[in-house]
Structure 1
């Protein structure tokens, strides 16, 4: 008797694009760092200063990109947990013919998500739902903040996953 083999998920177009873009950025960083080293090797004070500055910028960008990848991985794990519990947020909001979410519907969907966070501010799932309500309302900055809060609570609840 054959045991059921779990199906592997196929990468989505967004994931493939993100990996490709990250690869191109890595190539860019290598090229910039090569130029930075060449500037530092000139020994000229201006060349050394520019070389160090040019080397610092890709390193800062690399840290920020790594931070976003880690957030994306944790958000996917949280989504898997919510999906297994049947609690994954579903976007059923009405849209215009151009694909924009109806503002009134987004506002109406936002209120219950905000109320859930106010009722239980330590619930990572409530923060996760609030993040998607913010996103539907068009507030991407607050959506990211809510996802980061959800991740912090999720990791704390599971002992720093």
Structure 2
């Protein structure tokens, strides 16, 4: 299953869950019992938080894919960080760690370049540091918004 299909499946399952929990929350509130009303309110708040979190994740995925495609189109080739890969196609962690300093220096030299931030985020991801990868890619998304693509 592709990551996109997995995300869509999880999104659909979460949406179904949110609807069912929301319906149960309404039933709790309708009882009139103070404890049940409290549970019902909590069940209303939690699905709203879940929907917000789902939206943030899907938005991040859509925007990050868009800027990767934009960079690939600018390069007229698939994005290649030049990292050695394993037989599975995943980047070799040791190679990613070794190449990381070059990506970090590129960002320090041009902190306003969304392209360098994106490459840094992908290098973090290849090295297995998901938290920093997401932070760098979020910064790339923020910077890319201020740099609209040139019209053909």
| Alignment TM class, shorter chain as reference | 0.7 to 0.9
Instruction: Confirm whether residue 138 of structure 1 aligns to residue 128 of structure 2.
Output: yes
Cα RMSD for the two superposed structures? 2.1
Aligned 1:81-92 pairs, distance under 5 A: 81-86=70-75, 89-90=79-80, 92=83
The correspondence for 1:111, drawn from 101, 107, 115, is 101
In structure 1, list runs of 5 or more residues that go unmatched: 1-11
Runs (4+) off by over 3 Å: 97-103
The correspondence for 1:48, drawn from 37, 51, 70, is 37
Q: CA deviation at 1:98?
A: 7.7
- What is the aligned length? 147
In structure 2, list runs of 5 or more residues that go unmatched: none
Q: Does the Cα contact within 8 Å between 1:89 and 1:132 map onto a contact in 2?
A: no
**1: CA distance, partners of 2:17 / 2:47:** 9
Aligned 1:2-151 pairs, distance under 5 A: 13-86=2-75, 89-90=79-80, 92-95=83-86, 101-151=91-141
Q: 1:108 to 1:99 in 2, by over 3 A?
A: same
- Say which structure, 1 or 2, has more relative contact order (CA 8 Å, 6+ apart): 2
Q: CA deviation at 1:90?
A: 2.0
**2: CA distance, partners of 1:49 / 1:71:** 33
**2: CA distance, partners of 1:13 / 1:132:** 18
**Could you tell me the TM-score, scaled by structure 1's length?**
0.83
**Could you tell me the TM-score, scaled by structure 2's length?**
0.87
